[in-house]
């Protein structure tokens, strides 16, 4: 029986509600699921309630986009108190920055002859956090591009014609924010923008003293070679190992939650995370 510690709902850029995600986890016989939406914990209450009703343990989580040495990374947080004033204020700032970037992107698209209104974007987003994936979805629906990937490659990714930057916290700062709110911190999918893990030792040297607790080992694109190196680095720094599918739903066709042929995440990793948290308190 697998667990999945990295998923997204329609409160950020996923396509399923938290309840639907938990139902899918039960269908796939997962024993635990973490909801880790981008820059928001607004879907956690619904997910926890659904988990209690369906017999799936739900771990409250979040994923925050950060920067370190001018490179973007993602920090996963688990069991942080969403009502903690410092964390809540920090997330509010991030959410405001996302809204400002959306306005800039829509203005650039308008200049390219592709007018998209804020009202259209809100309809697609439905609730929670709105961002580039929702804009990409509109471009697909309009027939401007065929796929979400094309939308990013032609318009929305860094360096392309409709891209706009936004504020993000320094990685060490984000780690401190999550820890201050009582959470565990994990570096997500470290090979995503560092395929050979050449920068990772320096990143860990900076983040471990700041309070980083773990590193995401099990991830759909991590090869055996990558996982071997991650294990070595985790042992070197006494880091927890975690894993998850990074499931977003229909926005990424052909993907699924952990378990089966996707990835298997051992349940005992969750117990080690809980033990680390108990020892801290």
Is the CB of residue 175 less than 8 Å from the CB of residue 212?
yes
pLDDT of residue 131: 85
The phi and psi torsions of 237 (rounded to 5 degrees) equal -110, 10
Q: At what angle do helices 85-111 and 171-180 cross, to 10 degrees?
A: 140
Domains of the chain: 3-84+172-280 (3.20.20.140), 91-156 (1.10.150)
Q: In what helix (H) or strand (E) does residue 50 lie, and over which residues does it extend?
A: helix 44-54
3-state secondary structure of 6: strand
- The average pLDDT across 192-209 equals 96
What confidence category does residue 17 fall into, taking pLDDT thresholds of 50, 70 and 90?
very high
- Name the percent of the chain lying above pLDDT 90: 83
Residues 6+ apart with CB under 8 A from 91: 39, 40, 41, 62
Residue 30: exposure state from Cβ atoms within 10 A (0-12, 13-18, ≥19): buried
pLDDT of residue 43: 96
Q: What is the pLDDT of residues 42-72, one digit of tens each?
A: 999 999 999 999 999 999 999 999 999 999 9
- The average pLDDT across 256-263 equals 85
User: 174 is written with which tokens?
Assistant: 């984000």
> What does each C-alpha distance from 271 to 50, 157, 267, 275, 278 come to in angstroms?
21, 37, 7, 6, 10
pLDDT for 27 beyond 90: yes
């Amino acid at each position: 029986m697998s667990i999945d510690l990295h998923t997204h709902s329609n409160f950020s850029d996923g396509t399923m509600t938290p309840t639907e995600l938990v139902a899918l986890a039960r269908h796939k016989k997962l024993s635990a699921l973490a909801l880790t939406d981008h820059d928001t914990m607004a879907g956690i209450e619904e997910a926890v309630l659904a988990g209690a009703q369906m017999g799936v343990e739900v771990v409250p989580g979040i994923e925050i986009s950060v920067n370190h040495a001018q490179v973007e990374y993602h920090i996963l947080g688990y069991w942080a108190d969403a009502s903690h004033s410092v964390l809540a204020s920090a997330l509010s700032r991030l959410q405001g920055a996302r809204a400002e970037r959306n306005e800039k992107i829509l203005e650039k698209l308008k200049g390219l002859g592709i007018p998209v209104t804020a009202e259209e974007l809100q309809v697609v987003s439905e609730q929670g956090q709105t961002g580039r994936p929702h804009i990409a979805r509109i471009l697909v629906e309009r027939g401007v591009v065929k796929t979400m990937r094309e939308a990013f490659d032609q318009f929305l990714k860094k360096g392309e014609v409709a891209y706009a930057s936004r504020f993000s916290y320094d990685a060490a700062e984000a780690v401190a924010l999550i820890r201050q709110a009582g959470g565990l911190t994990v570096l997500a999918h470290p090979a995503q923008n560092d395929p050979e893990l050449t920068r990772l030792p320096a990143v860990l040297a900076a983040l471990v003293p700041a309070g980083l607790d773990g590193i995401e080992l099990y991830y759909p694109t991590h090869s055996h070679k990558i996982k071997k190196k991650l294990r070595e680095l985790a042992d070197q720094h006494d880091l927890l190992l975690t894993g998850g599918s990074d499931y977003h739903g229909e926005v990424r066709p052909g993907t699924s939650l952990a378990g089966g042929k996707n990835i298997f995440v051992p349940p005992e990793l969750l117990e080690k995370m809980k033990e680390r948290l108990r020892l801290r308190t």
